[in-house]
Each structure stands twice: as structure tokens, then as C-alpha cells.
Structure 1
Amino acid sequence: MSPHTSVLFDATSLPPNWGGVARYIQGVLAGLDELGVSVHVVAKPADIARLRDAAPGHRYHPAPAAIRARPVRFAWEQLGLPRLARTLGATVIHSPHYTLPLVSRAANVVTLHDATFFTDPEVHSRLKRTFFTWWTRRAAGRAAVLITPSRATADAVRASIRDVRAAMLVAYLGVDPAVFHVPASAEVERFAREHALDSPTGWIAFLGTIEPRKNVPALLRAHALLRERLGSGTPTLVLSGSRGWDEDAATRLDALTPTDLVVEAGYLPLDDLPAFLGGASVVAYPSLGEGFGLPVLEAMACGAAVLTTRRLSIPEVGGDAVAYTEPDSESIAAALETLLAEPERRAGLASQAAARSTEFTWLACARVHLDAYERAGAAA
């Protein structure tokens, strides 16, 4: 990186559960560290040790403890973040989650993870849709560079916003092979025992927040159709992730009984995910639209046979290494039934998926970010 470019990376948006956005932030910082690039990182005090463990080469700065409250964080972003950039001599501020300081001497790089707020507004709450479309428009008009995780997201932003002044770069997300890997049979057996899944029928895995665009109600209906057709030979459907604002899914989940063969596992520890995903008969991810589709990539890295949809960015991730379905329940059920009846096809997909996942690295992702910082620094 040019000696005239100094970057302040705003990691204060790390979520408490260290889900998808956190994996992105941690992965990019680790990739930059691997490239030998050091940036300033500001984060909540409680998050710094974990970030430093993953990427020790950066210079870390604690944000005020009060920013744990979201309104305080947004206020600090507008006032405290530009002030910190001036103190540190930063010429570029990277805001990795849509929002950015509206007034700053430093040039801005902003990551836009998703454009479904424009393309599929009905799958988001009104508040969330209003918030993210407003900030995406501000970023498109004020930032020097926008980073998106897929071509589909970049294209959707350009189609939805008439005047995108920022340069746009696509940085595919990565996957950490130390975390997401093909599990040993002993790992799968242990996971199955601990979660009472050690039956010959195995399980169908779903990983993600239960929100409307993840299409969980259709997956639940598809699984019910599968039980009608396969009876006792139906694998248990195991959902890992928190409940979002999908009232339809919540109603259906609350009405389930043990005979429905559906388990809500909640958040599983990262160490359990390879066995959960790689040990599943099928990983089902029937999303209505994704900015990238990180759960698909993580399942692929674990050697899973993945069933997903062709919506938006997902084919950029899955390529020919996953199976596809339309997102309606009948199509999902038929695709699941076909895959479950073809173990050789599942094994082939699993092998292709594991191989393809190696193309998505945080090092490659970080190289695009470095390009973004250079471009923004030149514009500062």
C-alpha cells in the first residue's frame, strides 16, 4: 500500500453473535495481515482480543464502551470516527457495513453486502428496508469506492440507484479452512450422538437466521411433503440459527411436535459446524436472494451436498458444485427426494463442492480491498 495511504477500519459494527458480518470483518483483516498490510482498526473493547488473535499485525484502538448501544454507535460514527481518523492521520476510512460518516476529511470505502432491499423489498421489514436503502444511496453518492461481495449485488446496486458516483469493486468472500473443513467420521459421529441424530436416516441441515428471505416456511412444507412420501425413512430437518422476524416460520415452528422430525438447534458453536454441515445428508438453503450466500460456501468447504436456488448471487458461489431447485415447497421436496435417493450423486457434489470452495480465500478478498484503499487514497 502506498506510504501516503493510511486506513482506519471501523469494526464497531461486529454483531454480538459473531455471525456473517463478523466472519467477513475477521477474514478481511486476516487476509490483509497475510499480505503484510497493517491498518488501524477501531472496535468495541470486548472484540479487540479476538480480532488481534486472528490478525495480530494491525494497530487496534478501543472505541468508547457506550457504543454497545446502537444509537450511540451511530452517533459516534458521525462524530467520533472522523475525529479518530484525523488523530491517527488516516486518509481512508473503511466502513464495512453500509453506513459511513457523512462528513469526513478522509475518503470513504463502504462495503454493501446485499441489494435485496431494492430487488426483493418484501422479504425485509419496513424499518430495515428503509434504513438500508437510505444508507446504500448515501454510500453510492459519497464514498470513493464501494465493495460488493458479488457481481449480482453490484449489478443490482447500479440498476437501483441512478447516480452511483463511487467506483465499484467485487470482492468475493472467503472461507477459513481451519474452521470449515471436511469433518472426520469421528467428528460426525460425536455430533450425531450429542444431538440425538444418530439414526440411519441422518439429517438435513439448514444454517442461517430464520428470516423471510431464507424461505424457511417453504422448507418446512417441503419436509412435511417428504415425510408423506418417505415415512420413517425421512431424515430429520435440523435448523441452526436464531429466529428473525419471520412470523410465518415462527408459527409453524411453534406448532411442531416430535413426530414432525424438525429440530431447532439454535446457534451451534463454530467447532460443531463442520460436523453439522459435512455430516448432513443434504444441506438445504432455499434462499429467495443473497448478496453472497456465505452459508452455501461454508457448507461446500465442509464437503456437503448442497441444495440451493439460482437467485441473485448464489450461482456465482455454487457454480456446478451444488444442486439447484426452484424456491417453492413442491420443487424443494422433489429435489430433496431425488438427492436422498442418489447417494453417488450426493458424494460427487460433495467432492466438487469441497474443491470449488478452495477458490474463495480471504487472501484474494483482501487483495481487492487493498486495491479499494489505494483508489480511495489517491482520491483523498
Structure 2
Amino acid sequence: MAGGELPRVLFDATSVPADRGGVGRYVDGLLHALSRVQHGLTVVCQRTDAERYSRLLPHADVVVGPAAVSHRPARLAWEQTGLPLLAQQHAAHVIHSPFYTCPLRAACPVTVTVHDATFFTEPDHYEKARGTFFRSAIKTSLRRAARVIVPSKATRDELIRLLDADPARLDVAYHGVDPDAFHPPSADEQARVAARLGLADTPYMAFLGAKEPRKNVPELIRGWVRAVSAREHPPALVLAGGNGHDEEIDKAVAEVPPHLRLLRPGYLRYADLPGYLGGALVAAYPSHGEGFGLPVLEAMACGAAVLTTPRLSLPEVGGDAVAYTGESAEEIGHDLAALLDDDARRADLGRRGYERSREFTWEQSAEVHLAAWTRAAALVTA
């Protein structure tokens, strides 16, 4: 690779799930930004994503992986054998794996994204098999990858503290937010979402995310009940997003008084997210800890008043533009009630959150990734 030349990168997007949750948003946003500056990019993806990436990345070479990669065990096996072979065929200088795991043997340097350290800091919040797998994958990637990209300083610091990771090989690349997809909604956008939820005449509080124990949804439900049950016109609580494995949620739902409305609509249409988040009285995300906190940033970009916790990376995202609470139902209920009683503060948080969200761009994230890949590629000629 000549001096000053950008490396040819094989980007493995086969791990992107069909629901396009946080990992999908990261990969899509990053690749779209990279396509404007990186012309030596090859993206391998699942067949269902081929048209999407061909349209999104007009200057990239999009390759369809084998059909079996839609199943995780087969994908992990192909990652170790087929991915390095594909890198050789495309003369890649670097392979990038965007989701914890990476090939252990390849003819070129490998970089990997480790999204968070909560598998170590919050082990009880994961199913045993899943936690064991990802803890092993993270340790392996920290040992074998030429460089490791993380989405926050908090995640970097936790990997150094807990796993003695080499700080010289860690690169912090904050996630971005797409201002076209996430923006303060118009009145029509808000009304359309409210009508679809059956809340045309009812204000609501919003949660968006997977129903995993780490997200602290049961305590959010109980805190909401504390905050609104005695009000004359209590706002509803909407829990949008995919199902998870938190069995405590059903128990908390069963405790909700019959005069309150709690909705679980599942996945919302992507185009409806601005109206959903920006139309809420409060977007609540009282997580036990995040590697970054993309739902918080996306809610801020929609002009929502956000209530979250000061755990791990969340203050890096929210700064002083969000409200903070504790993790117990009592704390959440107290702080939700305070926000509901203060229209001016909610409006101010919405304005400041939107302004702060504009500081997080996929273009900046792409620059950090490119710098990491350039450093990794230089190892071959060093």
C-alpha cells in the first residue's frame, strides 16, 4: 500500500440482523458515510441486504455471502474460513468485523468493533450461554485483532480496567445519527403515529429498545405507575421494539392498575420513529449501562425530552442535555413526575438534546474507522 493511499477494506456485514436494531443502524450509517470517501471498500452481506447496500453504496463492491450465513453457527464458521479467503480474492489490506467476533487467521490485519463491556460489568443481565459466548469473543478479539474500535470512552476504559486491554490498540469512534431519519417531527408525523397506536387523544411516554434485563424495563413500568397513577389524565406508557428475554416485564405489567394504559406494539416502522420519539412527553431509557446508547441519541435528535441514567457511556451521549435518574422504581417515578410537572424543562431538554445530537455524525465515525484501518494496514509494511 503506497504512502497516503487509503487501505482496501473488506467489511463483513453478514452479522447485521433482519430487524436492523442498533447493530444495523451502526453498520448502515457508517457504510453510507464511508461510501463518500472510501473507494476501496468491499462489503459482504446476506442476500436479503444485497439490494440495500448496492443502492446505499454506489462506489463499493457488494458481495453476497453464502445462504447459510443467515444462521449464526454457520456464519461464525464461515467467518473463520470463507471471510479470509474472500479477503484474498479481493486483495483487501484489512478485514473489519463490526460485531465482537473476527477471523483468527487471515492473510491481512483484522479489526473488530466491540460495542460494550456490559457482558462483564452486568453479567446477570444476560442469558448464561449468550454471556459466556460474548465474553469469550471479546477476550479473543482483544488478543487477536490489530485494532479494536469501541463506541465510547467508557467502553474503552472498562476494557482496560477489566481485561487489561492495550490502550494503544483501542480507537474510540462515537456513533452518529442520521438527521434525515431522526429529526424533530411535524405535527402530521406525530398525529399519524399517535393514531396508529390508538393514542390520538392520550399523551404518552416512550421507550424504544430490546426488552433485555439490562434495559431495566420492569422498573420503568413500576416507576411510571408511581408517577402517573394518581393523575386525573394519566399519560400512557409505550414500550416499542423487539421482544427480549426479560421475564420480569410480564410481572411488572400484571401489577399495572386497570385505569392506566400500557402498550407493547413491537417494532414500529422506521419512518414512524421520529413521530413516536418526538411526539412523546418523555423518552425514558433507564438502562443499567450501555456501550453507547444509540436510542438516547436518536430520541435527542427527534427533539424529545430524554430521561436516562448516568451509567457508563450514557453521560458521554447525553451530557447536560438530558435528565438523569436512578435505576429503582422509586427514583424513576420521582424524576418522571418532576418532568411531567415541568413543561418548560421538557421543552428546554428537547431543544438542547436536538442541538447536542448534531455533534454526533457518521462522517466523524467514518474518519476514526479509516484512521484505524490505515494504522492496521501499516503493520504489514512496518
Per the TM superposition, whether the score is higher than 0.5 is: yes
Other-structure match for 1:285:
285
| SS of residue matched to 1:375 | helix
| SS of residue matched to 2:73 | helix
Number of residue pairs the alignment of both structures matches: 378
1:120 aligns with 2:122: yes
Distance 2:115 2:340 in 1: 33
Distance 1:30 1:330 in 2: 42
Distance 2:141 2:228 in 1: 47
Q: Which runs of 5+ in 1 are unaligned?
A: none
Distance 2:276 2:104 in 1: 43
Name the CA shift for 1:165/1:90 in 2 (closer, same or farther; >3 Å).
Answer: farther
Other-structure match for 1:110:
112
* Per-residue CA distance 1:196-218 (angstroms, 9 max, x = gap): 1122x500000000110100010
Within 5 Å, give how 1:1-380 maps onto structure 2: 2-3=4-5, 5-164=7-166, 167-199=169-201, 201-230=202-231, 232-253=232-253, 259-380=259-380
- Cα deviation for residue 195 of structure 1 reads 1.5
List 4+ stretches of structure 1 deviating above 6 A. Answer: none
Q: Name the amino acid aligned to 1:215.
A: N
Task: Tell me if structure 2 keeps the 8 A contact 1:34–1:363.
Answer: no
- Cα deviation for residue 258 of structure 1 reads 5.5
- Cα deviation for residue 379 of structure 1 reads 0.9
Q: Name the amino acid aligned to 2:340.
A: L
| SS of residue matched to 2:320 | coil
| SS of residue matched to 2:183 | coil
Task: Tell me if structure 1 keeps the 8 A contact 2:211–2:245.
Answer: yes
Distance 2:237 2:121 in 1: 29
Task: Tell me if structure 2 keeps the 8 A contact 1:183–1:274.
Answer: yes
Q: Which runs of 5+ in 2 are unaligned?
A: none
Name the CA shift for 1:218/1:274 in 2 (closer, same or farther; >3 Å).
Answer: same
| SS of residue matched to 1:105 | coil
Identity %: 47
Distance 1:204 1:339 in 2: 11
- Cα deviation for residue 227 of structure 1 reads 3.2
* Per-residue CA distance 1:162-220 (angstroms, 9 max, x = gap): 35386110000000011000000111112212221122x50000000011010001011
Distance 1:346 1:5 in 2: 46
Task: Tell me if structure 1 keeps the 8 A contact 2:6–2:374.
Answer: no
- Cα deviation for residue 242 of structure 1 reads 1.6
Name the CA shift for 1:86/1:166 in 2 (closer, same or farther; >3 Å).
Answer: farther
Q: Name the amino acid aligned to 2:206.
A: A
Task: Tell me if structure 2 keeps the 8 A contact 1:141–1:164.
Answer: no
* Per-residue CA distance 1:235-264 (angstroms, 9 max, x = gap): 100000122110111333367576331100
Distance 1:204 1:61 in 2: 42
- Cα deviation for residue 122 of structure 1 reads 1.3
Distance 2:246 2:355 in 1: 34
Distance 1:317 1:163 in 2: 23
| SS of residue matched to 1:265 | strand
| SS of residue matched to 1:229 | coil
RMSD (CA atoms): 1.6
Q: Name the amino acid aligned to 1:91.
A: H
Task: Tell me if structure 2 keeps the 8 A contact 1:32–1:38.
Answer: no
Bigger Cα displacement from structure 2, 327-336 vs 37-46: 37-46
- Cα deviation for residue 4 of structure 1 reads 7.1
Distance 2:307 2:57 in 1: 33
- Cα deviation for residue 52 of structure 1 reads 2.4
Task: Tell me if structure 1 keeps the 8 A contact 2:173–2:369.
Answer: yes
Distance 1:100 1:252 in 2: 39
Distance 1:141 1:358 in 2: 35
Distance 1:69 1:262 in 2: 34
Distance 1:204 1:165 in 2: 40
Task: Tell me if structure 1 keeps the 8 A contact 2:229–2:260.
Answer: no
Name the CA shift for 1:293/1:326 in 2 (closer, same or farther; >3 Å).
Answer: same
Distance 1:36 1:143 in 2: 21
- Cα deviation for residue 121 of structure 1 reads 1.0
